[in-house]
Structure 1
Amino acid sequence: MTHERRIEMYPLKSRVLEVAEIERVTPRMIRVHLEGPDFEGLQSDGFADHVKLWFPNEDGDHVLPVVEGDRCLNFRAEGVVFRDYTVRHLDHDARRLTIDFVAHDHGPAGRWATNAAKGDRLGVLGPRGTAHITGEFDYHVLLVDETALPAAARYVEELPEDATVRAFFEVADADEEQLVRTPKDAEITWLHRGDAEPGSTDLLLRAFEALELPEGDGFVYAAGEAGTLKPIRRLLKERGFVRNETCEVDGYWRRGTANLDHHEDDDE
């Protein structure tokens, strides 16, 4: 079967939403539900769709996105603080956008989520568009760390009930395992890195090396720390997977790099 990646673009619009509810999904994962009257036109049809969230800066100022036509004019303005986050869920009926944050104190987004309260405001820009892989697959393999877990969980939850799934999720420890709704033929393996630093292990690579692929035509989604994904890219190529047709590899972050642009081409 022939597969190809098709991009659907959405009109660019900025909006301001407010925190309606906060959940502590695990000790290190915070789920924030955002609502507000400025919801018209918000769209997300793909599991990897992301928004740019604009946070208050350290001085207490809150620079919000300014859009003119189809361009944001103030990405590089003084005092701007934004980060890319996956849309965990979008409920049009409830007019609610849900984002999962990894709780930590070494970045503005993690600090904001840790201290978020009902009524707090965020600027929201996007999603700018979505990517669709055409055609059907006999099985699905996911290899992600916790930064890409919201996208991977959404991917699994939106699959048909008869889908075949082999998923490997790297997290710190057993406390970070979370409930994910799965099809009947789904196997989720939680990989615990223990005291190792995030982005420093080869757990996902070793899991993929040991995996006996199911029969048929499959799709692989791998995402997380950019450096750990390079050997996975090579192994995907060796196993016959084709970028943007039967696999997608997304470097969500890179150790030592702040606010990585994960649209950058990370091929060797």
Structure 2
Amino acid sequence: MTIHRAVVARVRLLTSSMARITFHGEGLAAFRSTGVGDEYVRLFFPHGPDRTDVSLPDSTDNGGWVTPEGRPEAPVRTYTVRAARPEDGEIDIDFVLHGHGTASGWAAAARPGDVIGLNSPTGLYSPPADLGWQVLVSDLSGLPAVGRLIEGTPDGVATRAVLEVPDPSCVPPLPDRPGVRVARTHGGNGHGPSRLAELVAAAIPPGTDLTGGYVWVAGQTNALRDVRRYLRKELKLPAERFKVVGYWIPGADTWTERYRALPDAVRSELSSMWDNPSAAAEEAEDLTIRYEERLSTLGL
């Protein structure tokens, strides 16, 4: 993994609640996109008022990073790469502007010359070889990935995108591709209860012929627990036929504090659930369901 230094080149307001920020600079010369539509990076933000002073960490041999001794730790957030243009040395990242939080606050004031750090990208979308149709479901946080996934979908693959957004003004234009249908519903996104699980069940009801299908769902993390359970336990989808990706958590700023406040025995119980790193993909999905169920009983 490489940590790159990126400089803001342009800022464009897509909607009243989303801005596209284009990054460039010599630090991106070694950036290599995976080409996967939902690839994501960790962004390292300035730790103080100087928007060009970023405490970039050093990458480690195990794929992580460490802050150099004597330097402040940079705030870190995870974001999707909306577009990568290696020929121009640029990448685009879309930010939801919701009025609070480290990343949103930084993006709302972003201007050319601002500096951030970002690591090498990782993609999660992995449809099967026999892909004939797919369903993409997300809230506002997943729209950048949905747009790029639609752009990269092969001709002949029927795609249904179901989007939960606060209101119609929040949705930037999506690529117009043959075979793509887009439906929108209003709600969720921190403005009310998320309906992502309901939307997934309506788009793929029990009895659906799942041959050649793939399901990709992203958005509010705790709302996706019911989605994963539905796809795996009720529809009996094998792990290679779906991907559920949590993008954000209500009260994220206090989540870690609440987790650390758990009794030592409970935290040990939770961490021990992942003691078998060689578990097969099928087992990993079932383990994730058990882990998420335990978090729910703990109010997390």
Q: Taking structure 1 as the reference length, what is the TM-score of the superposition? A: 0.84
2:106 aligns with 112
Q: 1:216 aligns with which of 208, 211, 216?
A: 211
1:53 aligns with 43
Look up the equivalent residue of 1:32 and give its one-letter code. Answer: I
Structure 1 CA distance for aligned equivalents of residues 216 and 189 of structure 2: 22
Deviation of 1:229 after TM superposition, in Å, equals: 0.9
Q: 2:66 aligns with which of 50, 60, 73?
A: 73
Q: Secondary structure at the match of 2:28?
A: coil
Distance 1:75 1:267, change over 3 A: farther
Deviation of 1:62 after TM superposition, in Å, equals: 2.6
Report the number of matched residues: 252
Q: Secondary structure at the match of 1:143?
A: strand
Structure 2 CA distance for aligned equivalents of residues 230 and 130 of structure 1: 18
Look up the equivalent residue of 1:74 and give its one-letter code. Answer: T
1:90 aligns with 84
Contact 1:252 1:260 in 2 (8 A): no
Look up the equivalent residue of 2:29 and give its one-letter code. Answer: E
Distance 1:232 1:68, change over 3 A: closer
Contact 1:83 1:259 in 2 (8 A): no
Structure 2 CA distance for aligned equivalents of residues 259 and 184 of structure 1: 44
1:9 aligns with none
Q: Which runs of 5+ in 2 are unaligned?
A: 257-273, 275-287, 294-300
2:252 aligns with 257
Structure 1 CA distance for aligned equivalents of residues 130 and 91 of structure 2: 28
2:152 aligns with 158
More off after superposition, 214-223 vs 167-176: 214-223
Deviation of 1:197 after TM superposition, in Å, equals: 5.6
Deviation of 1:40 after TM superposition, in Å, equals: 2.6
Look up the equivalent residue of 1:15 and give its one-letter code. Answer: H
1:198 aligns with 190
Deviation per CA, 1:72-98: give whole Å up to 9, x if none.
221996342121111111011111111
Identity %: 27
Structure 1 CA distance for aligned equivalents of residues 132 and 255 of structure 2: 33
1:235 aligns with 230
Q: How does 1:25-64 map to 2 (within 5 A)?
A: 25-44=14-33, 45-60=35-50, 61-64=53-56
Deviation per CA, 1:17-72: give whole Å up to 9, x if none.
11111111110000000011222331222122111111112454531222355542
Q: 1:23 aligns with which of 4, 8, 12?
A: 12
Which has more strand, going by share of residues? 1
More off after superposition, 234-243 vs 116-125: 234-243
Q: 1:177 aligns with which of 167, 171, 184?
A: 171
1:7 aligns with none
Q: Secondary structure at the match of 1:232?
A: helix
2:242 aligns with 247
More off after superposition, 96-105 vs 251-260: 251-260
> Which structure has the larger Rg over C-alpha atoms?
2
Contact 1:65 1:125 in 2 (8 A): no
Q: Secondary structure at the match of 2:56?
A: coil
Q: Which runs of 5+ in 1 are unaligned?
A: 1-11
Which has more helix, going by share of residues? 2
Q: Secondary structure at the match of 2:182?
A: strand
